[in-house]
Structure 1
């Protein structure tokens, strides 16, 4: 078996374990059970898992449970104490500390920021006060070609796909980095996710893993998210569920975009900025 094929098989086997954690975040997830699912010896599994995913099994479980907490907090029908107990914390204090490390702010502030930045009504383009910048703005983008790597596996392993694309990029110049969501993540297997780089430099024709895609042009609803990438899913859900219905627009059949405006390699998680771009058209 060639090295690239063996590496791909390792990733697929580890992805089964990650998928099991994501499917049932509140289960016990014993190391022996996950190793059996991935067809690895329990003796070697944890080391292999950490090398592929970039973190320990316990860190993945903790992160997936806290990601579940962001969805529960976004819904707003449970108190912070109830959310803490639901995701496996014995006290709201312990949950608040863990959530602060995960999301860069307390659970209460997370709820308040989502509501004031996204869920509250925002001015339409014809609003009489154009001087007040809305939290969601309407932009028109031109079609842009990008080099993209398709992500396989659960969302929690997306950072690994980013690292793989960076290894393909090498010393080439990159002007922008994107995440591209094609379809509804709840409607698998139709859903596809890509990490993408916009680069003016030439790429080797033999690099078959990397695809040349076009990011479609057109109208987008843009919201600049402040803080860690762990907030992205909750913010996108809030845009679709709460902002879009009252906006005068409807979703278009183009990918949803994450445009990374800076890098976790250069700034702290709280200083990260990501443009979330929802494809739209005027409502009929």
Structure 2
């Protein structure tokens, strides 16, 4: 098998495993099960996964489960015990221990904190603290990206596939920050129909980039909201941007989709320290 064909085969294995994880968060995600999904020996599968994604398999599963749980805590009224089982924790106690270790708050405290009024000011304290919105001139940016269709909070699966492809092709060192582009309003478009892209920004495109879409984000004036905290709080950030800031700003939004720039990674950053710039182009 040629080298490029071999890389493509390994990329497909990673994609298949991420898809299985996201679709079976309440099920058996043991090393043996996922090695079978990848069609690889259990003795080598974990090394392949960690080398291609930069994250141990158990840490990735825990992060994905708890990230999805954090969204449900803020966006539903489901009981904590119900959310625990939904994401693979047999008891509320085991879920609470894992969640507090990851987020620094018990699930109930996280829910209460996330639903409280949020102060949009340049401060660093607090799980959901955010900075003020600034208007900036942004240059044109070029991305290599993968398309996604489905709930925006599942875009992490596509980012996982993207990282694995960049690593396998030796491009990860050239990639700038990661970015997500969102084309639809989740308030009016069914979750399963939402369109988005997960991408990495490049200063100079590599000569060979088969398998990726090339996207160009236009230059212009942007309203930029810096969000610091768990990704589950981004929904509130968007509500503030469109519901409070834009109507009172005297500005008009351009006819282009919003995008997020991710300045660090949940694979090696505590949820309260995650930093995202929400970028809205202005007319």
TM-score (norm 1): 0.66
CA distance in 2, matches of 1:64, 1:6: 28
Are the equivalent residues in 2 in contact too, given 1:178–1:257 (CA < 8 A)?
Answer: no
Task: Indicate whether 1:238 and 2:236 are aligned.
Answer: yes
The Cα of 1:235 is off from its aligned counterpart by 2.6
Report the CA distance shift for 1:101/1:246 in structure 2 as closer, same or farther (over 3 A): same
State the superposition RMSD in angstroms: 4.4
Matches within 5 A, 1:167-186: 167-168=170-171, 170=173, 177-184=177-184, 186=191
Unaligned runs of 5+ in 2: 122-129, 149-154
The residue number in structure 2 matching 1:74 is: 74
Matches within 5 A, 1:1-284: 1-42=1-42, 44-116=44-116, 137=133, 139-146=135-142, 148-151=143-146, 155-156=156-157, 158=159, 161-162=162-163, 164=166, 167-168=170-171, 170=173, 177-184=177-184, 186-187=191-192, 190-197=195-202, 199=203, 206-208=207-209, 213-217=215-219, 220=222, 222-227=224-229, 231-232=230-231, 234-240=232-238, 244-245=242-243, 254-261=256-263, 270-278=272-280
SS in 2 for 1:77: coil
SS in 1 for 2:276: strand
The Cα of 1:155 is off from its aligned counterpart by 1.6
Q: Which stretch has the larger CA shift, 14-23 or 178-187?
A: 178-187
Are the equivalent residues in 1 in contact too, given 2:136–2:224 (CA < 8 A)?
Answer: no
Q: Which stretch has the larger CA shift, 19-28 or 155-164?
A: 155-164
Report the CA distance shift for 1:257/1:168 in structure 2 as closer, same or farther (over 3 A): same
Are the equivalent residues in 2 in contact too, given 1:181–1:257 (CA < 8 A)?
Answer: yes
Report the CA distance shift for 1:255/1:193 in structure 2 as closer, same or farther (over 3 A): farther
CA distance in 2, matches of 1:36, 1:48: 14
Are the equivalent residues in 1 in contact too, given 2:162–2:198 (CA < 8 A)?
Answer: no
CA distance in 1, matches of 2:268, 2:43: 37
Identify the structure with bigger relative contact order (alpha carbons < 8 Å, sequence gap 6+). 2
CA distance in 2, matches of 1:277, 1:139: 9
The residue number in structure 2 matching 1:126 is: none
Unaligned runs of 5+ in 1: 124-133
Q: Which stretch has the larger CA shift, 243-252 or 105-114?
A: 243-252
Report the CA distance shift for 1:100/1:196 in structure 2 as closer, same or farther (over 3 A): farther
Report the CA distance shift for 1:62/1:240 in structure 2 as closer, same or farther (over 3 A): same
The Cα of 1:22 is off from its aligned counterpart by 0.4
Are the equivalent residues in 2 in contact too, given 1:74–1:238 (CA < 8 A)?
Answer: no
